[in-house]
Amino acid sequence: MDPPPRPVRRRFAVSIRPAALWPYLLIAPTVLGAAFLLVYPLVRNAVMSFQHFGLAELIRGGAGWVGFANYRTVLEDPEFWTVVRRTFWWTGLNVALIMLIGTLVSLMLVRLGRWMRLAVMSALVLAWATPVIAATTIFQWLFQSRFGVVNWLLVKLGFDSYRDYTWFAHGGATFAILVTLVLWQSVPFAALTLYGGLTAIPAELYESARIDGAGAWQTFRLVTFPMLRPLFALVTSLEVIWCFKCFAQIWVISAGGPNGATTTLPVYAFQIAQSLHKYDLGSAVSTLTVLILLGVLVFNLRRMFRQEGAL
């Protein structure tokens, strides 16, 4: 009996046409730029968190490895956990208010006339496009103790106790001002994004809801929100990132004060690294900040995909 024929191995020649490389060549500068500006600092920061890196090492080099000692120092510090709780409170409050106000503004835009809608959208875009430092400076002027517009207006309205009131000397007042500033900068993005989603919902669904006798709240709960659930989840995730890593506004207005009332994790990491010159501990705090934010986003995205699979 003859042995079975041996399988014939075919050699496939891989030919890459020059035209197929063009998409990769076009995106290569963006990928390389993002890797240099984002990936390298993140990796360098993570490496520094495992070293003894102070002012002397910054000048002469030669940082030694200390393993997880920096993380143990940070995690055993009660102040770190106080800042973590404050950061979650700061993020949760801002995101909840942004999504609430942004949703209401987007619903208002749908019901406005053409020219009024154009005016409101133009104002939102201008507020959104204002540079962060410029907007922060404006809020400093508004709440200035002697010549601020807010104190002047409150005194004119009869609240004489606000004459020369120092807003930035009180932790609660400073926190409220920063929340207002972040809302002013963030609501336009949420409102315009949700308005774009609202315009894509078929009008027949709203007509059916009205015929069935649904009110405004029932229409939103049964028609609008289910149709825009993925968009709501996406905007919420982006706002969580924006608020959690918020630094410039807090540092310019209060530098985390007074008495640490506005110190969040990014500000805390900067204070340790720059004020105390403990760059290793600052790197550990910032690495933990990234990990905490990543965990929050993964939890939110998993919940979003789970809800999408249940539909």
* Structural domain boundaries in the chain: 64-310
Coil vs helix vs strand at 42 = helix
Distance CA 280, CA 68 (A): 11
Distance CA 194, CA 235 (A): 8
Q: Name the token pair of 109.
A: 């835009």
Q: Domain 64-310 sits in which CATH superfamily? A: MetI-like (1.10.3720.10)
What does DSSP assign to residue 144? -
Tens place of pLDDT per residue across the chain (311 aa): 555 555 555 554 455 566 778 888 888 888 888 878 888 888 888 999 998 888 888 888 778 888 899 999 999 999 999 999 999 999 999 999 999 999 999 999 988 888 999 999 999 999 999 899 999 999 999 998 888 899 999 998 888 888 888 999 888 999 999 999 999 999 999 999 999 998 888 888 888 888 878 788 888 888 888 888 888 988 998 999 999 989 999 999 988 888 889 999 999 999 998 888 889 999 999 999 999 998 888 887 777 777 666 55
* pLDDT in the model for residue 9: 53
CA angle 191, 194, 196 (to 5 degrees): 110
Nearest to 235 by CA among 105, 89, 84, 134: 105
* pLDDT in the model for residue 12: 45
